[in-house]
């Protein structure tokens, strides 16, 4: 892990994170999503002020994922801060990772450069090729299979319309260039507009 020494405890932490992303109730918030995020970070890391912290935040951003929960990001962020501190990371670095994970609530557009990049990477699936976007939409529906269709569909359209209303959707130049146009196509198609 970036910023901490490798040890049996950090190896256990990595194993626990991987196990979380493999939980049976996940369909989208899996190792596939994490790998896609980390791959895009590798391509865009020149836009990060602290790429190691962005990478750590990506590892933790969906570490806690309960489709019925309302505090997933908070719990994931707290776990990140506490685990990184326990592993020997500097307190200020652990707190920055905590703040980055909290940015993935997507309730406001972040102003910090690393948070903008992290959020753009997390939302890059919206600008994926049409076939991958369709797979993503099905994965999300699978995660929320317990929600009746007449409730799920309007709520999902509302969420996607909120992303479509952002102008621009992506705040970092590299991710915007890669994803903005296709994201708008995908989102319009998904919401039926």
pLDDT in 10s for each residue of the chain, 193 residues:
444 556 777 889 999 999 999 999 999 999 999 999 999 999 999 999 999 999 999 999 999 999 999 999 999 999 999 999 998 899 999 999 999 999 999 888 899 999 999 999 999 999 999 999 999 999 999 999 999 999 999 999 999 999 999 999 999 999 999 999 999 999 999 999 6
- What residues contact 45, with CB distance under 8 A and at least 6 apart? 51, 54
The CA distance from 74 to 10, in Å, is 21
Count Cβ atoms below 10 Å from residue 149 Cβ, excluding itself: 10
Structural domain spans, the chain: 1-107, 123-193
């Amino acid at each position: 892990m970036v910023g901490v020494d490798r040890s049996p405890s950090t190896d256990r932490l990595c194993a626990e994170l991987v196990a979380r992303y493999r939980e049976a109730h996940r369909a989208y918030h899996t190792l596939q999503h994490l790998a896609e995020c980390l791959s895009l970070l590798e391509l865009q890391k020149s836009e990060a002020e602290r790429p190691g912290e962005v990478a750590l935040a990506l590892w933790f951003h969906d570490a806690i994922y309960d489709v019925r929960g309302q505090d997933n990001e908070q719990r994931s962020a707290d776990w990140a801060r506490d685990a990184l501190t326990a592993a020997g990371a500097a307190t200020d670095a652990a707190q920055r990772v905590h703040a980055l994970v909290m940015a993935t609530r997507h309730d406001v557009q972040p102003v910090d450069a690393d948070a903008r990049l992290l959020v753009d990477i997390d939302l890059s699936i919206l600008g994926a090729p049409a076939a991958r976007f369709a797979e993503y939409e099905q994965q999300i529906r699978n995660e929320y299979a317990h929600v009746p269709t007449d409730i799920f569909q309007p709520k999902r359209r509302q969420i996607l319309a909120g992303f479509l209303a952002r102008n621009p959707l992506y705040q970092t130049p590299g991710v915007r260039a890669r994803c903005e146009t296709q994201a708008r196509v995908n989102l319009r198609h998904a919401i039926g507009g």
